[in-house]
Amino acid sequence: MGSAVRYRRGCRVAWGAWLLLAFLPAAARADATKSQEEAVKRLLETYQRAIETKDLGLFRRVKPNLTGEEERRLRKAFDSTKTQQVTITVAAVDCQEKSCVVHLNRRDTLDATIVSSFPQTMRLTQGDGGFVIEEIGR
């Protein structure tokens, strides 16, 4: 009977160790997801600041693949207003490995008048320097 008790205790320890090992990757994934969400938040704050300050260089840092046409439209938008305030509300963030899809609602206030409110979907990729915007869609 003594050996049965030891066996059971041994099983509990082994089972407990297995559970700990099984859930450890889940905990690591949760930490990674939290880290990714924080990085996405920083990217969106920089995106917002780039638009509000009309800083094309800063905008290019968050979207380095900015095309000539996108730059032309951005310059035109920057030149057409004195002030621009952007409010971003994140609806959903879905991260897989080193990429994320962000669904958000954006409201722009131009020259103290609310002009537009619209959804955006951003596809992000994560590199050594953090996330960057690969694509912006509606």
User: What is the tens place of the pLDDT at every residue in 111-125?
Assistant: 998 788 999 999 999
Return the pLDDT at 27.
Answer: 52
Give the pLDDT band (50/70/90) at residue 18.
very low
For residues 8 and 38, what is the distance between their CA atoms, to the nearest angstrom? Answer: 44
Evaluated on CA atoms 36, 101, 55, 85, the torsion sign reads: negative
Q: Retrieve residue 60's tokens.
A: 């290019």
Q: What is the pLDDT of residues 51-89, one digit of tens each?
A: 999 999 999 999 999 999 999 999 999 999 999 999 999
Q: Is 50 exceeded by the pLDDT of residue 94?
A: yes
Q: Is 90 exceeded by the pLDDT of residue 138?
A: no
Q: Where are the domains of the chain?
A: 36-137
The pLDDT of 35-52, averaged and rounded, is 95
Return the pLDDT at 71.
Answer: 97
What average pLDDT does the chain have?
83
The domain made up of 36-137 has a fold known as Nuclear Transport Factor 2; Chain: A, (3.10.450)
58: closest CA among 43, 70, 79? Answer: 43
For residues 57 and 85, what is the distance between their CA atoms, to the nearest angstrom? Answer: 18
